[in-house]
Amino acid sequence: MKRAKLLEKRILFFKERKEVALIPYLTCWDPDLETTEAILWEILETNPVCIELGFPFSDPVADGPTIQKAIVRALTHHPTVEKFFEFVAKLNSKGFPIPLICMTYYNIVYRFGLEKAVSYALDSGLSGFIIPDLPIEEAGPWLKANKNKNLATIFLAAPTSSEERIKKIAQKSTGFLYYVSLTGITGARDKLPDDLASRLIQVKKLSPIPVAVGFGIAKAEHVTLLSSYADALVVGSAIVNIIEKEGKKAPQAIKKFLKSLKNESS
């Protein structure tokens, strides 16, 4: 079955069972590749719906200070796209059971080669890509490279997106639609916008595929509220904060944090 369809079905399976569908994000190589792998295996116990694995890029326009610092730490290891796919392939060769999605910027895949990126992704077992600086109007070459290749291509919609535009984004997206909860950059927030629930209700009506919401989600109360309105919840900066604080001790701390978001005991 197509990887994008498998991802979509997995999210809907969580929804049907009324389980919290979390999508954790971490930056690959932060603080090092060994710790990245340890975190990935540890958080399997929290049963995420999939995992967003960031490939570091020097100009992360969608990311706030927390993830920017993670990227700076990761870049000290001189990551390459080839090494990223080798890492994903190694995980999958060990039987890693959760879909992995690469979050990176268009310059990375463009310079690597669009068709080459798709080929390497398929060979590694990657499930798809989130490319936040690639709008649907400029995505033709990428979609052509991925045509009939079945990788998920997840586009972002924002509070400033019109209903008509959200429909177009949803039609181009596969796997799920990523809805940005607020205008601005990533970063954990104490409080989310008051109208977010009502906006999600409307986005769900416009999208034929599952809707995940991200940016700012950092507390159990955020998860409790939004799980009723979105199909999945992306948690990024709050996890990266733990990595910055705990370093190599982060895997256990992140598992505990994710369980707390789902109101589960450690």
Pairing of strands 177-180, 211-214: parallel
Which residues share a beta bridge with 152?
128
The alpha carbon of 143 is separated from its chain's Cα centroid by a whole number of angstroms, namely: 19
The single residue of 8, 30, 63, 231 carrying the catalytic annotation is: 63
* Tokens describing residue 44: 């399997």
Our CA dihedral for 88, 22, 76, 61, rounded to 10 degrees, sits at 110
Q: Which helix (H) or strand (E) holds 231?
A: none
In angstroms, the Cα distances linking 115 to 64, 109, 129 are 30, 9, 13
User: Is 52 annotated in the active site?
Assistant: yes
Rounded distance, CA 84 to CA 123, Å? 12
Which residues share a beta bridge with 129?
102, 153
**Closest to 175 measured CA to CA, from 157, 150, 198:** 150
The single residue of 52, 123, 195, 221 carrying the catalytic annotation is: 52
Rounded distance, CA 82 to CA 241, Å? 27
User: Is 133 annotated in the active site?
Assistant: no
Burial of 198 per CB tally in 10 Å (0-12, 13-18, 19+): exposed
Catalytic residues, which ones? 52, 63
